[in-house]
Structure 1
Amino acid sequence: MVRPCGSPISSSILSSKAGGWQVQIPQRVWDQLLDHLKSELPREGVGVLLGSGTAVRYRKLQNVAHDETHFRLSPQEWVSLVHALEQTGERILAIVHSHPASPPEPSAEDMAGFAWPDAYMLIVSFHNPNWPQVRLYRKRGERLERCPVQIMH
């Protein structure tokens, strides 16, 4: 089931604010995520935000694409992740990837490949390496809807 940004999927990263819901990422998780994505430059980095209850963590994944402008997950790593989540009771809250040299807007390939139900897509752009930009999206039908995100200091 696809839910709009205004509907909570997990208490792990969502908080109520005037006018709807806002995704909040703890600073320590953001730092881990950003460090990983920076370490993958000039290639796209990829990972997932996982959560259970009020706990949230970042898990880096391997980009097996053979170029710098795409990401592709290892099918074996993805299956392993899904099996591990069955054991831990965590959920995939967001699929994360970077755009090393372009704005944090989903590409046609990003939109076509985003099929995980009830998850967000988080894109971090290093277009300006001194000021990474982050955008968050939810799939709604065949389009992606931008959602508010806040890094909690």
Structure 2
Amino acid sequence: RREAPNECCGLLAGRDGLVARQFAIASDRKSPIRYFMNPREQVSALRAIRESGLDMLAIYHSHPTSDAWPSAHDQEMALFPALKPGEPPAPCYPGCAYVIISLADSDRPTLRAFELAGTDFAEVPLEIVNG
């Protein structure tokens, strides 16, 4: 909500699928329909994750006015273009989940998690626990 009406973004880190730390990263695109992580902040977060012995579990971003489903832009951002003709694109972060927070109903935000299955997103279970 802090970045509304623009999308926010960041990384989630932890172990064994349990998030221990969140890294909010500025978006270099101030847009309600697109995000682009600030490269310096992203590298700094990745370094902190590595130095703390955690794993990068997920990339998160918000959809301020739409549902918590990946857009074509989200899919494009999650894949490296194919290096050779006929080869499929490759995931930028293999094994990493993508969490989308919808603020379309600001009183009841919706969270969904996805993983890449080939070049398409597939929804995966997301459990929120306190602890």
Assess same fold via TM > 0.5.
Answer: yes
- If asked which structure has higher relative contact order (CA below 8 Å, sep 6+), I would say 1
Higher share in helix: 1
Give CA-to-partner distance per residue, 1:51-106, whole Å, 9 cap, x none. 13666121111111032221101111122222222321111101010000000010
Q: How many residues align?
A: 116
Correspondence for 1:51:
14
Say whether the 8 Å CA contact 2:23–2:45 is kept in structure 1: no
Distance 1:103 1:110, change over 3 A: same
* Counterpart Cα distance in 2 of 1:95 and 1:105: 14
In 2: Cα distance, 1:84 partner to 1:43 partner: 26
Question: Which consecutive unaligned segments of at least 5 residues does structure 2 have?
Answer: 79-91
Q: Does residue 75 of structure 1 match 2:39?
A: yes
2:102, 2:7 → 1: CA distance? 10
Distance 2:107 2:9 in 1: 20
- The CA distance in 2 between the partners of 1:119 and 1:60, in whole Å, is 17
Secondary structure of residue in 1 paired with 2:114 = strand
Segments of structure 1 that go 5 or more residues without pairing to the other structure are: 1-37
CA RMSD of aligned residues (A): 1.5
In 1, Cα distance between equivalents of 2:21 and 2:51: 16
2:97–2:115 Cα contact (<8 Å) kept:
yes
* TM-score after normalising by structure 2: 0.81
Aligned runs of 1:2-151 on 2, under 5 Å?
Answer: 38-52=1-15, 56-114=20-78, 115-151=92-128
- CA shift, 1:127, in A, is 0.7
Counterpart of 2:117, as a letter, is: R
List 4+ stretches of structure 1 deviating above 4 A. none
| Closer/same/farther in 2, CA of residues 120 and 90 from structure 1, 3 Å limit | same
Q: Which residue identity lines up with residue 49 of structure 1 in the other structure?
A: L
Secondary structure of the 1:84 match is helix
